[in-house]
Amino acid sequence: MNGLHLFAFSGRARALAERIAQAFQGTVHPKQGYQEAVGRVFQTGNTLVFVGASGIAVRAIAPWIQDKAKDPAVLVVDETGRYVISLLSGHLGGANEAARTLADFLGAQPVITTATDLHGVFAVDSWARSQGLLVANKEAILPISKALLEGQSVGYLSADPIEGRSPAGVVDLATSETAMTAARFYVDPSGALAQDEGALRLYSKTYWVGAGCRRGTEPLAFQRFMEEVLQGAGIPLAAVEGLTSIDLKKEEAAFLDRAKALGIPFRTYTAQELAAVPGAYRESEWVLKTTGVGNVCERAARLASLEGPLVLEKVAHSGMTLAVARREGEISF
């Protein structure tokens, strides 16, 4: 919870804000011009803490609120330090967790109003955040919470085993004898499951995109190709951990530009390293003659993902190729 941005509106409030900032490596912003500072911080996704009346906080953040998948955590602390209110983005933004942490530090009472927390019900969005999972379709969160609050069962499927005991009302559809559930969620779905609009789809940031292209491919052309292929497979761009290819492409502008734009690494391998990757691949004689290995994108994706499974086999278009593999991870309830 380090890196808090605090706003205080009285001498007593500022003293408390300074105390919090010192404990959590935070920044106390000056009262003058605070509205502009709120806007800047809000858009960075960092946690905001208002020490004072909740009405001030509500008016300050109102122009910047977008939706629950994007809004940062916002807390309000009364200037006596008796209450810490989770005001906005309690689950996905982590405000509930932050409120509890700050309340524990201050010896205060956390004020949490989300229904799942009040009734001790599994909150899938809070759980997803704790496991570093990305939400692909936030509108599917509500049916899950609603079902659990009404005492109904929720089913799930996961590409990797989920360690630990399932929460009350949550059943593994892969092992349960009954599939009669009111709602469902999938972790790292592929194939038809990735297109299931009725289920909540969660993704880990473990996907490696293996790519190949003709020399001098336009960066914009590759950007569009990659986005279209991933969208068709139901894989969010934000779930891509890295981009990879053969070392002959280490200076390819299309790949370097895409990796930079997404803030991900671009990793390359020699033909010998790629040829040693186990498995059966669709080989190309021309690619073999040109690069020394018959399939670049699939082999590179698997090697970069620590030989994880291919979730998307080679797709080719206008001299570009792309495949996706997923690095196997660990998640738990």
CATH code for position 260:
3.30.420.180
| Domain boundary residue, one of 184, 204, 224 | 204
Instruction: Compute the average pLDDT of residues 256-268.
Output: 98
Whether residue 219 sits in one domain with residue 303: yes
pLDDT tens, 207-222?
A: 999 999 999 999 999 9
Q: Does residue 118 lie within any of the structural domains?
A: no
Whether residue 17 sits in one domain with residue 90: yes
Instruction: Compute the average pLDDT of residues 66-87.
Output: 94
**What confidence score (pLDDT) does residue 242 get?**
98
Whether residue 104 sits in one domain with residue 29: yes
HEC string for the chain: CCCCEEEECCHHHHHHHHHHHHHHCCEEECCCCHHHHHHHHHHHCCCEEEECCHHHHHHHHHHHCCCCCCCCCEEEECCCCCEEEEEECCCCCCHHHHHHHHHHHHCCEEECCCHHHHCCCCCHHHHHHHCCEEECCHHHHHHHHHHHHCCCCEEEEECCCEECCCCCCEEECCCCCCCCCCEEEEECCCHHHHHCCCCEEEEECCEEEEEEECCCCCHHHHHHHHHHHHHHHCCCHHHEEEEEEEHHHCCCHHHHHHHHHHCCCEEEECHHHHHCCCCCCCCCHHHHHHHCCCCCHHHHHHHHCCCCCEEEEEEEECCEEEEEEECCCCEEC
Residue 73 has pLDDT above 70, yes or no: yes
Whether residue 237 sits in one domain with residue 195: no
pLDDT tens, 5-58?
A: 999 999 999 999 999 999 999 999 999 989 999 999 999 989 999 999 999 999
**What confidence score (pLDDT) does residue 12 get?**
96
Whether residue 105 sits in one domain with residue 66: yes
**What is the number of domains present in the chain?**
3
Whether residue 286 sits in one domain with residue 267: yes
Q: Does residue 119 lie within any of the structural domains?
A: no
Whether residue 155 sits in one domain with residue 49: no
Whether residue 85 sits in one domain with residue 69: yes
Q: Does residue 70 lie within any of the structural domains?
A: yes
Whether residue 276 sits in one domain with residue 189: no
Whether residue 211 sits in one domain with residue 198: no
- Domain enclosing residue 60, as ranges: 5-113
Q: Does residue 256 lie within any of the structural domains?
A: yes
CATH code for position 183:
3.40.1390
Instruction: Compute the average pLDDT of residues 287-301.
Output: 93
